[in-house]
């Protein structure tokens, strides 16, 4: 497949979730494995479909359609495309309702919901700070941003300044210079779009991945549950844990995928809106399982901002299936919610 332009924030290092398949077993008695890979949203994607043997050549038309779907999501939600709906809303300075597509209102609505339940840890209006720290489309300076600039940009941040209307779909801003960044949730949404499309076309056995965010349905070409590896923070690209999943969205947020280092300090692309600075706690990665990959994606970022203790508390209160890898003095420790543990037990059966 052809290379597409980097549009969302690039994942510089390993993807946190690796799909595990074995190339030499690409064909079995009953199923063929169709694999598609390419680039979208500034990262890679991979799609695997187990189809009944000898069901014909499906790939070319499907690939075209999938690229069209992903291009549409980019044209709606990318901050790297000046003409995207999101960029047009960001440059709009008015206080009237700004009409958008239904998917934009849907994703924005979920983003606002995750902000509300996470006490503002997740906040798509954090864009001016993301850009200031060099993780957005703005050119990043060599030095760390001065505190005065951090404080100035913080004034533009706050999800309560954004209103979302579903019908007719529209957005409204209370601060003319506010800037929304959907990078923490749009990849998950893109995964859902592709997965829902494939399921609607009758492909029941699929694994869709964009930049490490995944959704699975049915089984693989060996007629077994799909296997997903959660990357280890130490031995890249080692695997910390393998999940066998059937119908599920899986998203990981971590400090070892997209960051820069200065004077021995690692600066994550995840920004704590309350400080205006990259997160600094001991949570190395958090993986969230949810029916919707979009929701899993947003929640993973929210929990990553909250950190190992508050994030865990939040996951318990929200009854979520969450797996964490936390740095300790002696290495890394795993922490999981009862919901995740229960699921592990059930899935391993």
Binding site for ligand ADP (CB under 6 A): 9, 122-124, 126, 130, 135, 181, 183-184, 252-254, 257, 269-271, 273, 297, 300-301, 304-305
Q: Which does 49 bind (CB under 5 to 8 A by kind): ligand ADP, Mg ion, none?
A: none
At 21, give phi and psi (nearest 5°).
Answer: -135, 165
Q: Which does 273 bind (CB under 5 to 8 A by kind): ligand ADP, Mg ion, none?
A: ligand ADP
For residue 258, the 8-state DSSP code is: S
SS3 per residue for the chain:
CCCCCCCCCCCCCCCCEEECCCHHHCECCCEEEEEEEEEECCEEEEEEEEEECCCCCCHHHHHHHHHHHHHHHHHHHCCCCCCCHHHHHHHCCCCCCEECCHHHHHHHHHHHHHHHHCCCCCCHHHHHHHHHCCCCCCCCCCCCCCHHHHHHHHCCCCHHHEEEEECCEEEEECCCCCCCCCHHHHHHHHHHHHHHHHHHCCCCCEEEEECCEEEEECECCCCCEEEEEEECCCCCCCEEEEEEECCEEEEEEECCCCEEEECCEEEECCEECCCCEECCCCEEEEEEEECCHHHHHHHHHHHHHHHHHHHHHHHHHCCCEEEEEEEECCEEEEEECHHHHHHHHHHHC
Site string for Mg ion, 160-199 (x = CB under 5 A): ------------------------x---------------
Site for Mg ion contains 62 (CB under 5 A): no
By beta-carbon distance, which residue lies closest to Mg ion? 301
Residue (128 or 249) nearer to Mg ion, CB: 249
Residue (295 or 300) nearer to Mg ion, CB: 300
Q: Which does 287 bind (CB under 5 to 8 A by kind): Mg ion, ligand ADP, none?
A: none
Selected range binding Mg ion among 16-24, 148-156, 163-171, 294-302, rule: CB under 5 A: 294-302
CB of 269 to ligand ADP, least distance (A): 4
Q: Among residues 150, 297, 311, 314, which is the contact residue for Mg ion, using CB under 5 A?
A: 297
Residue (51 or 326) nearer to ligand ADP, CB: 326
Q: Which does 269 bind (CB under 5 to 8 A by kind): Mg ion, ligand ADP, none?
A: ligand ADP
Q: Which does 305 bind (CB under 5 to 8 A by kind): ligand ADP, Mg ion, none?
A: ligand ADP
Residue (115 or 337) nearer to ligand ADP, CB: 115
Q: Which does 47 bind (CB under 5 to 8 A by kind): Mg ion, ligand ADP, none?
A: none
Q: Which does 304 bind (CB under 5 to 8 A by kind): ligand ADP, Mg ion, none?
A: ligand ADP
CB of 61 to Mg ion, least distance (A): 31
Q: Which does 9 bind (CB under 5 to 8 A by kind): ligand ADP, Mg ion, none?
A: ligand ADP
Contacts of 267 (CB under 8 A, 6+ apart): 133, 144, 259, 260, 261, 278
Site for Mg ion contains 301 (CB under 5 A): yes
CB-CB neighbours of 112 under 10 Å: 18
CB of 61 to ligand ADP, least distance (A): 30
What is the binding site for Mg ion (CB under 5 A)?
184, 297, 300-301
């Amino acid at each position: 497949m052809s290379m597409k332009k980097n549009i969302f924030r690039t994942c510089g290092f390993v993807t946190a979730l690796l799909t595990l398949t074995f190339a030499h077993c690409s064909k079995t008695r009953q199923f063929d494995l169709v694999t598609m890979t390419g680039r979208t949203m500034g990262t890679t994607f991979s799609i695997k479909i187990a189809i009944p043997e000898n069901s014909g050549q499906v790939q070319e038309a499907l690939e075209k359609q999938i690229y069209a779907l992903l291009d549409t999501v980019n044209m709606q939600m990318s901050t790297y495309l000046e003409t995207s709906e999101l960029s047009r809303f960001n440059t709009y300075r008015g206080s009237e309702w700004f009409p958008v597509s239904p998917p934009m209102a849907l994703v924005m609505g979920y983003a606002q919901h995750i902000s509300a339940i996470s006490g503002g840890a997740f906040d798509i209006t954090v864009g001016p700070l993301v850009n200031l720290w060099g993780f957005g489309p703005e050119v990043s300076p060599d030095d760390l941003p001065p505190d005065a600039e951090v404080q100035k940009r913080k004034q533009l941040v706050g999800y309560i300044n954004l209103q979302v209307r579903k019908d007719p779909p529209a957005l409204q801003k209370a601060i003319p210079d506010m800037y929304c960044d959907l990078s923490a949730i749009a990849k998950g949404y893109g995964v859902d779009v592709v997965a829902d499309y494939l399921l609607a076309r009758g492909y029941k056995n699929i694994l869709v991945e964009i930049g490490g965010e995944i959704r699975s349905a049915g089984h693989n070409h060996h007629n077994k549950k799909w296997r997903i590896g959660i990357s280890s923070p130490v031995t890249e690209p080692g695997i910390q844990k393998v999940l066998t999943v059937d119908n599920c969205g899986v998203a990981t947020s971590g400090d070892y995928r997209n960051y820069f280092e200065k004077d021995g300090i690692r600066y994550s692309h995840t920004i704590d809106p309350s400080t205006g600075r990259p997160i600094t706690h001991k949570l190395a990665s958090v993986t969230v399982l949810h029916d919707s990959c979009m929701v899993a994606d947003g929640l993973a970022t929210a929990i990553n901002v909250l950190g190992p203790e508050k994030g865990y508390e939040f996951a318990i209160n929200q009854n979520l299936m969450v797996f964490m890898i936390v740095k300790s003095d002696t290495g890394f420790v795993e922490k999981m919610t009862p919901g995740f543990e229960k699921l592990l037990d059930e899935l391993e059966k």
